[in-house]
Structures are given as C-alpha cells and as structure tokens.
Amino acid sequence: MKTRIVTGLLFGLVLIGSIFLSEYSCALLLLVILAGSVHEFRRLLSPLEIQPQGLLTYLLNFSVFAACIFIPVAWQSAQLGQSELLLGGLFFTLLVLLISTVEIFRKRKRPIENVAGTVFSAFYLALPLGLLFDASIDEEGAYAPVQVLFFFLFMWASDTGAYFSGMAFGKHKLLERISPKKTIEGLIGGIVLAMLTGVAAYYFIGRHSLPFWLASGALLALIGTFGDLFESMIKRQAGIKDSGNILPGHGGFLDRFDSTFLSAPIYFFIIHAL
C-alpha cells in the first residue's frame, strides 16, 4: 500500500504538472502513455499466440492520435477541406492495406488475429487518448487544462471510492469470473464519489447543469469500471497478473489507465458534443 501511494502521488504530480504546463506537454504525456500501452498490449496478446505487428502498430496508433489532435484544430481554423479529408482517408486506407500485406510475409500462426489486433489497438488505445486531448480545448479553441484534469479526477474518484467502499462493505461480487475482488458495493462507492466530483466540475467547468454533471460522474464511473473489467478479462485469458511493472504498486500503463480507454470518448462527448 505504501509503495502504491508513493507511486500514485509522484505520477499524479507529473501528470498534473504536464497538464498545466502547456498543451504540448499534455500531448507529450498522453503520447508516452500511448507508447507504453501499445507495448503492453502486444505483450498481453503474446501468450494467446496473437502477435500484432511491431513498427506498423506503433505507426498506426501514433497516426490516429495525431489525427485526433490535428482534425479539430484544422476544422476550427477553417483549414480543413474536402481534399484534406480525402488525403487523410487515403493515408489510413493505405496503412491498413500495408498492414494486411506485411502479414502475408510474416508467416505467423494466426494472421487474421494478428491484423485484427494491430488495427484494434488503435481504436482501443490511440483514439480514446486523442479524444481526451481534444476534451482540453474549450469553446473558443483555447487550451483549457482544467477540462482534461477533471477527467482524471473523475477516474481517481471512482477508483478510490470503489477501493475503500469495497474494502469496508464489499460482500456481493460484481463479476467474479473476471475480477474476484470487485464488488457491487465497491462499484456503488465509486459512483458516489465520482458524482461528488461532478459537483466540483459544475463549479470549475460549468457548461452544463449540476444534475448533468452528477449523471456524468455516475456514467464515467460505470464505463470506467467496464474498462477495468475488459483489461482484466484479457489478462485472465493470457494468464498474466499485471500488464507491466513500470509503475510500482500499480503495474503497467494498461493497469493504471484501463478505465481511461473506454471512458475518455464518453468524456469527450460530455465536454463538446452534448
């Protein structure tokens, strides 16, 4: 527990500092998380004899992440037209075709799964992190660090509430076959603390009503839990306890940010589309 707390505090300081320093340091931080997550994702699939391609997996993920950042900025500045969208679509089409072609010459046991794992990684990892960065842009197109910070506050509140309420009151298992330690009481505690975080979001971000932010906190906590369970399902099938060991007491990037990958797109729509 001591190691977990110290690591969490240090990484939290790095994360908050990167978010508030500038939009460039925020993007760099998310890019580091993406690179580490891609590495661990490929490692998780290895015991299942699924081997996403190496260099092309990173290229596809970095390209999707960059597109998520570039497209909204170019769209808002009226520099994105039909020709640019067509060129972007052509680039990604050729990249997927290249991935499929390369697999022909790799001579691996499961070529279809390998290609699927390569492409899926971009939707699972790069797209959510790219949309999370987009959530930091306010209505005037300026960088608003408090908006992306609150996403992590929602996730931390959910994890903290679930952990301590599960320890204190947990009796009914949530999905024992996937995650034996998760309980329904823990889920409720995470939702309640995330809803309280929604009260703070109402005063610091605004843009929506208090009931909306309360509902958003509950939704993010719920979706984040499913993100956690999804990664646990992959680890259980692969027979791996932790996706990595770069964060002592927490495991790897996927272990620490598993709830992020499913809930970040929801947060993007909460901030912008809704």
Query: 110: closest CA among 46, 47, 44, 50?
Result: 50
CA torsion sign for 85, 274, 130, 70 is: positive
Q: State the pLDDT confidence band at 25, using cuts at 50, 70 and 90.
A: very high
Widest CA span in the chain: 58
The pLDDT, as a whole number, for residue 185 is 86
The pLDDT, as a whole number, for residue 103 is 86
- Tell me the C-alpha distance between 77 and 40, whole Å: 36
Percent of the chain scoring above 90 in pLDDT: 34
Query: 220: closest CA among 175, 260, 172?
Result: 260
pLDDT, tens digit, for every residue of 38-48?
999 988 888 88
Q: How many CB atoms lie within 10 A of CB 104?
A: 8
Least confident of 69-73, 92-96, 100-104, 214-218: 69-73
Tell me which residue has tokens 């369970």.
Answer: 229
The pLDDT, as a whole number, for residue 77 is 57
> What's the number of CA atoms in the CB half-sphere (13 Å) around residue 220?
33
- Tell me the C-alpha distance between 22 and 50, whole Å: 38
pLDDT, tens digit, for every residue of 53-93?
888 999 999 999 998 888 766 566 556 666 667 777 788 88
φ, ψ of residue 187 to 5 degrees: the values are -60, -45
Ramachandran sector of residue 62 (left: φ over 0; alpha: ψ -120 to 50; beta: rest):
alpha
Q: State the pLDDT confidence band at 122, using cuts at 50, 70 and 90.
A: very high
Are the beta carbons of 181 and 228 closer than 8 angstroms? no
Between vectors from CA 231 to CA 126 and to CA 168, what angle results, nearest 5°? 125
